[in-house]
Amino acid sequence: MDSYLKKRTATKNKLHGEETLGIPSKFVYRSLKRDKKHLDKELAGIEQRLLSLINQEKQHQLTLLQTVKGIGNKTALFLIVVTDGFSKFETGAQLCSYVGITPTISESGSSVRGRSRISKVGNKKLRNLLFLCAFDACKTRRAESYTSAS
């Protein structure tokens, strides 16, 4: 699925480049449009297939994940697929280590102790998705508090 997403993004960028030039080549432009349409169709099919597989076995988990602010359908699907319905882990600490968000302290014998940072050893794609979900949840929360204060 990742490779399809990368190809679609590259195709979108090429289309934008053709449009920006002002005089796009009709042949190239139509070809890129067909490629994008095909990739959209393939991605929708893959997503539907994943959703149907999840609906059969892990519907309850999918529903619970989607109740968390910031987590949408695609992220919930990705979490369930990558973690095998969270059955790969016995504790939350193990999941955090897998994602790469556990704190790590870097120090040596004579060094001054610095701030601890996240380890970044783990599933980069999942870590990025969770970061974006957290960012979206914070942004949504700020917007809600701003509108309720007005």
**Of the listed ranges 24-33, 46-55, 109-118, the one predicted with least confidence:** 109-118
pLDDT(150) > 60: no
Residue with token string 């280590």: 97
Q: What is the pTM of this model?
A: 0.66
Higher pLDDT, 124 or 150: 124
Range 118-124 average pLDDT: 85
Distances (CA, A) of 35 to 9, 13, 20, 46, 91: 11, 12, 19, 16, 43
pLDDT(34) > 90: yes
Q: What angle do CA 31, 41, 133 make, to 5 degrees?
A: 115
| 8 confidence band (pLDDT: 50, 70, 90) | very high
